[in-house]
Amino acid sequence: MGRKSRYDDVSVESTSDGSWIVKRFIILALLSPCLAQLPNTTFANATATTASGTSALAAATAIMDVSVEDLWDLLVGPVSLAATTTTVEATPVPSSELIPPPPLYYPSFPSGYENPAMTKNSSWSFPADFWWGVASAAYQVEGAVKDEGRGPSIWDVLTHRGGAVDYTIANDTGDIGDNHYYLYKQDIARIAALGTQVYSFSISWSRIMPFGRDLINEQALAHYDDVINTCIQYNVTPAVTLYHWDLPVYLMNLYGGWLSESIVDDFVEYARVVFSRYGNQVGYWFTLNEPIVFCSEYPYPDGFFKKTSIPAHQQPYLCGQSALLAHAKAYHLGKSLNLTGPISFKTNGGYKIPLTDSSADALAVQRAWDFNEGWFANPVFINGDYPSTLKAYTSTFLRNFTSEEQSLLKGSADLFAHDAYTSQFFFAPDAGIDACITNSSHPHYPSCANTSYTGPTGWNIGYAADPGSPWLHIATDWVPAFLRYIHDTWKPSSIAITEFGFSVPFEQMKTLSADIQSDLPRRVYYRAYMEGVLTAIAEGVPVVGTLAWSIVDNLEWSEGFGVRFGLQYVNFSDPARPRRYKASFFEYASIFKEYAATGHAANGTMR
């Protein structure tokens, strides 16, 4: 795969567009660090976040003369269009598609014995109000990237503009993806047909606000009205994530996105628009998806966005600070608007197992928690502040939260929403933790926790996923301990697993739909994972819901379409993007019937 020049597509356009020179000048201004040196008054006027909405935008366009179309032309280039570009009505799912696959395990004798390895365990059941569903994210499934007024996000740029590096493999983009933007009615009908209770999707910020601020796009609001109403029509509760990584690129080039605390007010204004529009039609709210991940994306390689002079190692933590404040303020805004659905943010991580029983490995495990989950969960669930290990590291460049901010942060989540896919072993680096903490060029600095998927006996923690997901193994034995750890450490009133899933190795290389649909390793994963959840519930851990990733095969970010996480297969070679249930969807759905709070099957019943 050759590297792309960021201007390849634009120069093609310049031959057919006489305004190219002007546009190029404008975009250089937009990308230029000089922008920040404009006189304050002009800068504030051009970018003010005010209730005056479009008039502030008018000021912005007057100075920079950039339209949404310009952002596309100059930062992204041409995009592909789907075969279908109008909303498709749902048709009933044919009964032939609803026949469940043969059972995965056959009980060898009637059970009822209290053993987690048994096929049916009479001590397990889901609480009556337990909820389960499936999840997606806007850029990964929607397509229709330029349609109905959407502005570009950083992911449109990352997928279209190879800079010094190619950010995505195979030049895959989300231009068309699953075309969920037009096929959502059928998608919702299909999940409802298997009894799915919750559909968790994200809203594209740059659809609602093409520049990320000021201008509001009514067409996008109307679109999500219909997505939400369709869910309700099918008796599926909508769960909305406000931000799943698709930052409006305008804000990235304006002030570095999450690197600047300017984003806090912009995010909160976006949240206000969404909260006010959809209010209590939405059952569950998540402000941010996995800030550990999107903050660790910083620093971006050169060539995609306006350069920043902020030192690379500081960037993730500046992002984290803005993300926490944005979340907390949006949380309190939601409460002031009387939203009834729980509001939270989705953190992520895996269970961390000490490789040996040495005290150094125990310390490495603690540091790994601190620099991952603890970074965001401690401020929200413990004390309004970072873990002390992380604070020790960031103290030279990160300001302290004020006491007012600490009280905003503390308690700003109604449930602990964790994207918890897998587990890993952790251990102290060879030279010891202290030698690492004082050496900023150490490969494990600053967490100073080394990690492995291979345990002390030399065997892997579990079956490995597709090589495109090297971080993922079937490590479901650890699910009960993981949930108990969350409960004991952050003491949330309730825990939801808001993403979990598995990429079957080489599934993308299979060509027969029937082979792809018989996804045995994913079935094993979901069954074993849910048995872990049931074990934790039986032990008193308040797990209230699970959301499986994902509703359909989709764009796996930098891995493109080369890694598949769907509970439904999507044929990406077919312009109609047909969906087919994989066996794992039936497996996942069946668990809730078997262990329903009331009327679960008698002991020994064959599934």
Q: How far is the C-alpha of 424 from the C-alpha of 420, rounded, in Å?
A: 12
511 CB-contact burial (10 Å; exposed 0-12 / middle 13-18 / buried 19+): exposed
Strands 416-419 and 343-348 turn out to be parallel
Smallest distance from ligand GBH to CB 201, Å: 12
**Rounded (10°) CA dihedral 301, 306, 310, 312:** -10
- When asked if residue 425 is in the footprint of ligand GBH (CB under 6 A), the reply is no
**Beta strands, E only, 89-224:** 131-135, 198-202
CB-based contact 355:427 (threshold 8 Å): yes
The residue at minimum Cβ distance from ligand GBH is 471
Q: How far is the C-alpha of 162 from the C-alpha of 455, rounded, in Å?
A: 38
Closest CB to ligand GBH among residues 167, 211: 167
Closest CB to ligand GBH among residues 23, 418: 418
Smallest distance from ligand GBH to CB 7, Å: 29
Contacts of 409 (CB under 8 A, 6+ apart): 324, 325, 328, 379, 380, 384, 385, 401
CB-based burial, 151-170: b 16+ in 10 Å, e otherwise:
bbbbbbbbbbbbbeebbbee
Write the binding mask 484 to 513 for ligand GBH: x where contact by CB under 6 A, - elsewhere: ---------------x--------------
Smallest distance from ligand GBH to CB 567, Å: 13
CB-based contact 343:311 (threshold 8 Å): no
Write the binding mask 279 to 318 for ligand GBH: x where contact by CB under 6 A, - elsewhere: ----------xx--x-------------------------
Q: How far is the C-alpha of 232 from the C-alpha of 8, rounded, in Å?
A: 45
Which among 142, 499, 531, 587 is annotated as catalytic? 499
**Beta strands, E only, 414-567:** 416-419, 423-427, 450-452, 495-499, 543-549
Smallest distance from ligand GBH to CB 551, Å: 11
Q: How far is the C-alpha of 54 from the C-alpha of 49, rounded, in Å?
A: 10
Closest CB to ligand GBH among residues 137, 188: 137
Between helices 520-538 and 479-490, what is the axis angle to 10°?
40
For residue 304, the one-letter residue type is F
Smallest distance from ligand GBH to CB 560, Å: 11
- When asked if residue 427 is in the footprint of ligand GBH (CB under 6 A), the reply is no
- When asked if residue 565 is in the footprint of ligand GBH (CB under 6 A), the reply is yes
CB-based contact 87:224 (threshold 8 Å): no
| Coil vs helix vs strand at 512 | coil
Smallest distance from ligand GBH to CB 42, Å: 38
Q: What are the structure tokens assigned to 182, written together?
A: 């037009």
| Residue 499 bears catalytic tag | yes
- When asked if residue 419 is in the footprint of ligand GBH (CB under 6 A), the reply is yes
Closest CB to ligand GBH among residues 157, 273: 157
Smallest distance from ligand GBH to CB 61, Å: 33
Per CB under 6 A, the list member of 60, 137, 188, 479 interacting with ligand GBH is: 137
Per CB under 6 A, the list member of 73, 556, 587, 594 interacting with ligand GBH is: 556
Closest CB to ligand GBH among residues 72, 421: 421
Closest CB to ligand GBH among residues 549, 592: 549
Degrees to nearest 5, angle at CA 503 with 500 and 504 = 130
Closest CB to ligand GBH among residues 308, 424: 424
HSE at residue 390, side-chain half, CA atoms within 13 A, is 26
CB-based burial, 374-413: b 16+ in 10 Å, e otherwise:
bbbbbbbbbebbbbebbeebbeeebeebeeebeebbbebb
| Residue 404 bears catalytic tag | no
Closest CB to ligand GBH among residues 342, 468: 468
CB-based contact 257:154 (threshold 8 Å): yes
- When asked if residue 348 is in the footprint of ligand GBH (CB under 6 A), the reply is yes
Smallest distance from ligand GBH to CB 550, Å: 6
Closest CB to ligand GBH among residues 234, 463: 463
Closest CB to ligand GBH among residues 138, 209: 138
Smallest distance from ligand GBH to CB 140, Å: 6
Closest CB to ligand GBH among residues 73, 178: 178
# residues near ligand GBH by CB under 6 A:
14
Q: How far is the C-alpha of 286 from the C-alpha of 187, rounded, in Å?
A: 21
Q: How far is the C-alpha of 9 from the C-alpha of 173, rounded, in Å?
A: 15
Cα–Cα separations (whole angstroms), residue 35 to 4, 68, 467, 555 = 27, 19, 42, 34
CB atoms within 10 A of CB 284: 24
Quote the DSSP letter at residue 600: P
Smallest distance from ligand GBH to CB 421, Å: 6
Per CB under 6 A, the list member of 526, 549, 588, 595 interacting with ligand GBH is: 549
Smallest distance from ligand GBH to CB 549, Å: 5
- When asked if residue 166 is in the footprint of ligand GBH (CB under 6 A), the reply is no
Q: How far is the C-alpha of 423 from the C-alpha of 471, rounded, in Å?
A: 9
Per CB under 6 A, the list member of 470, 575, 578, 604 interacting with ligand GBH is: 470
Which among 290, 373, 405, 559 is annotated as catalytic? 290
Q: What are the structure tokens assigned to 604, written together?
A: 């020994």
Write the binding mask 93 to 132 for ligand GBH: x where contact by CB under 6 A, - elsewhere: ----------------------------------------
DSSP labels, 530-541? HHHHHHHHHTT-
Q: Which residues are catalytic?
A: 290, 499
- Which residues of the chain form contacts with ligand GBH (CB under 6 A)? 137, 140, 289-290, 293, 348, 419, 421, 470-471, 499, 549, 556, 565
